[in-house]
Amino acid sequence: MSDKNQSEDNQTSNKTEKTNENPKDIKNRKKRRKKEDRVVHKIVWVVVLAFIVVGAIFGVVTYNYVRSSIEPLSPNSEESIAVTIPNGSSNKMIGEILEQENVINSGMVFNYYMKFNNQDGFQAGEYVFSPSMSLNEIASSLQNGESADTRITIPEGYDVEQVASSISEQTEFSQDEFLDLMEDEEFFNELEENYSELLGDAAEAEEVRYRLEGYLFPATYDYQSDMSLEELVEQMVATTDSVLKGHYDEIEESDLDVQETLTVASLVEREGETEEDRKQIAQVFFNRTEAEMPLQTDISILYALGEHKEVVTYEDLEVDSPYNLYQNVGYGPGPFDNPSEDSIEAVLNPTDNDYYYFVADTSTGNVYYAETYEEHNELIDEYMDE
d(CA 211, CA 184): 9
Angle (CA) 348-353-358 rounded to 5° is 95
Across the range 252-265, mean pLDDT stands at 95
Q: Do 379 and 262 belong to one domain? A: yes
For residue 186, being part of any structural domain is answered with yes
Spell out the SS3 assignment of 97-128. HHHHCCCCCCHHHHHHHHHHCCCCCCCCEEEE
For residue 166, being part of any structural domain is answered with yes
For residue 5, being part of any structural domain is answered with no
For residue 36, being part of any structural domain is answered with yes
For residue 10, being part of any structural domain is answered with no
The answer, yes or no, to whether residue 148 has pLDDT greater than 60, is: no
What is the radius of gyration, based on Cα positions, of the chain?
A: 37
- pLDDT, tens digit, 9 for 90 and up, residues 83-119: 888 877 888 899 999 999 999 988 888 888 888 888 8
Backbone φ/ψ region at 330: left (φ over 0), alpha (ψ -120 to 50), beta = left
Q: Do 275 and 358 belong to one domain? A: yes
d(CA 299, CA 317): 11
For residue 1, being part of any structural domain is answered with no
Task: Evaluate whether 215 touches 199 at the Cβ level (below 8 Å).
Answer: yes
Domain membership of residue 129 as a residue range: 81-144
Q: The CATH number of the domain where 95 resides is what? A: 3.30.1490.480
Domain count, the chain: 4
- pLDDT, tens digit, 9 for 90 and up, residues 38-53: 766 777 777 777 777 7
Of the three residues 210, 244, 278, the one that is the final residue of a domain is: 244
pTM value > 0.85: no
Q: Do 216 and 234 belong to one domain? A: yes
Q: Do 195 and 126 belong to one domain? A: no
- Selected residue with higher pLDDT from 2 and 353: 353
Q: Do 264 and 361 belong to one domain? A: yes
Q: Do 258 and 379 belong to one domain? A: yes
Q: Do 258 and 373 belong to one domain? A: yes
pLDDT of residue 76: 78
Of the three residues 244, 276, 299, the one that is the final residue of a domain is: 244
Q: Do 227 and 261 belong to one domain? A: no
Q: Do 258 and 371 belong to one domain? A: yes
Q: Do 287 and 211 belong to one domain? A: no
Of the three residues 209, 244, 279, the one that is the final residue of a domain is: 244
Query: Judging by beta carbons within 10 Å of its beta carbon (0-12, 13-18, 19+), is residue 1 exposed, middle or buried?
Result: exposed
Find the length of the chain. 386
For residue 212, being part of any structural domain is answered with yes
What separation in angstroms does the CA of 272 have from each of 119, 128, 304? 50, 33, 20
Phi then psi for 15, rounded to 5 degrees?
A: -60, -40
- pLDDT, tens digit, 9 for 90 and up, residues 260-311: 999 999 999 999 989 999 999 999 999 999 999 999 999 999 999 988 888 8
Could you tell me where the beta strands, DSSP code E, fall in 39-88?
A: 81-85
Q: Do 360 and 322 belong to one domain? A: yes
Q: What is the DSSP letter of 351?
A: P
The answer, yes or no, to whether residue 156 has pLDDT greater than 90, is: yes
Q: Do 118 and 214 belong to one domain? A: no
The answer, yes or no, to whether residue 344 has pLDDT greater than 80, is: yes
pLDDT of residue 256: 95
For residue 75, being part of any structural domain is answered with no
d(CA 2, CA 190): 115
Q: Return the biggest CA–CA distance within the chain.
A: 140
